[in-house]
Amino acid sequence: MSSLAEQLMAGPRGRQVCVETPSFTDPALTRARFELRHHLDPGPTVRLRIGDGDDEPIDVSAEMIALKEALASVCDVEEHFVHLALETAVEQAMYWQEPEGAQILAARPEIAPEINGIADLIAKSPIAQWWTDPMAADQFQVRREGWREGARLPAGSVLTTWAEDTRSEEARAAVERPSDPRAAYSAIWWSCPPHQLIQTCSAQACVPTGLYLVEDGLGETRATVHGVSGAGRVLEIDSAAVWADLCREYPLEVTASKRHDWYRTTGLADTRWVMPDWAAVAQEYDAVHLQVGAYLAASGTAIEVEPGVHSVIAGWAPGDTFWLTDAVEVEPRGRIFVKDRDDDLWHAEEENP
């Protein structure tokens, strides 16, 4: 098994991509997956049955056998549907509640051998070859509908303020919030660098990935893409191990402020939580790049930093780079991209002559 196939099998996002990819074209797989994901979903949902609208309970064993057989029959994957499956898994990523039915289903051991075979097929697909690449030389910033360009603050100032605010939030949470991670409480759950920093992505097949790899998006269909110039020392997050090393070297305690959300998304209750101190990381690196493979393997999981201490990669879109210093400049003139309803893909808008 290739390293990318192993990453696909390692995490909830990767396994979901494996199940989603053939579901776009196989009616039997689509039906079984639909029934089972809603049956397994822990949250209250409204479920419309496929077919005759019958609302009687499903035969879980029969549907699981049907799903297993449908997955076993997959002998090829289409690039277009690999693309859509990745986009779907990223869009459905959540860190403030329990994993939803699609991720629970993809983790069922009964279908692990079949998903394993699909992971191998996806790993060999040309469209997935960049998922383990380091940061590309050509980078772009995506500005979505509603973007408001304000005065750009120096990165050092942004990080200093962020570090102070994060520590203050942790101190308040230790006093004011319940210590039981199961308590119904939610707050700031992300662990990526502050979003006031410049965030960039690469372009694949002439389309910037930041247009379609968006967690918890708002459904925008129009954006402006700006080229980015500059370079610097880049830290490549290519595995959960690198994230763990980062947390060990630059730890920032966030147990009180994040324990409730991170318990719900990982199921781990009895631990301390840390994340990287990005202000400290900036003393050594200009930028941090999260590879797609690492995201699919580790995002939303409890990453062990040391015994009794864990962390979570949360709120960071795969393939994106955060710039921790002022090593880059964004070109003022951008190009407009729109999402086409016919094929559900982003395309560059034709420029007027």
Distance of alpha carbon 87 from alpha carbon 288, whole angstroms: 22
Decide if 331 contacts 227 (C-beta within 8 A).
yes
pLDDT at 353: 43
Q: What radius of gyration, in Å, describes the C-alpha atoms of the chain?
A: 21
- Sequential pLDDT tens for the chain (353 residues): 679 999 999 999 999 999 999 999 888 888 888 888 778 877 644 444 444 445 567 787 888 888 899 999 999 999 999 999 999 999 999 999 888 888 888 889 999 999 999 999 999 999 999 999 999 999 999 998 767 666 678 999 999 999 999 999 999 999 999 999 999 999 999 999 999 999 999 999 999 999 999 998 888 889 999 999 988 999 999 999 999 999 999 999 999 999 999 999 999 999 999 999 999 999 999 999 999 999 999 999 999 999 999 999 999 999 999 999 999 999 999 999 998 877 778 989 876 44
Distance of alpha carbon 319 from alpha carbon 204, whole angstroms: 11
Q: Give the Cα-Cα-Cα angle 13, 17, 21 (nearest 5 degrees).
A: 170
| Predicted TM-score of the model (pTM) | 0.92
147, two tokens? 């973007």
Q: What is the amino acid identity at position 335?
A: R
Tell me the C-alpha to C-alpha distance, in Å, between residue 29 and each of 17, 33, 34, 39: 14, 6, 8, 15
249, two tokens? 């070297």
pLDDT at 255: 98
Q: Which residues, other chains included, contact 228 with Cβ-Cβ below 8 Å and sequence gap of 6+?
A: 139, 140, 141, 198, 200, 328, 329, 330, 331
pLDDT at 64: 84
Tell me the C-alpha to C-alpha distance, in Å, between residue 9 and each of 36, 65, 255, 296, 308: 20, 20, 28, 9, 25
Both ends of the chain: CA-CA distance in Å?
50
Tell me the C-alpha to C-alpha distance, in Å, between residue 67 and each of 53, 79, 84, 296: 20, 22, 20, 22
Strand ranges, E, within the chain:
139-144, 199-200, 203-204, 207-208, 222-230, 234-237, 251-253, 272-276, 287-290, 303-306, 309-311, 321-323, 328-330, 335-340, 345-348
Decide if 224 contacts 335 (C-beta within 8 A).
yes
pLDDT at 56: 62
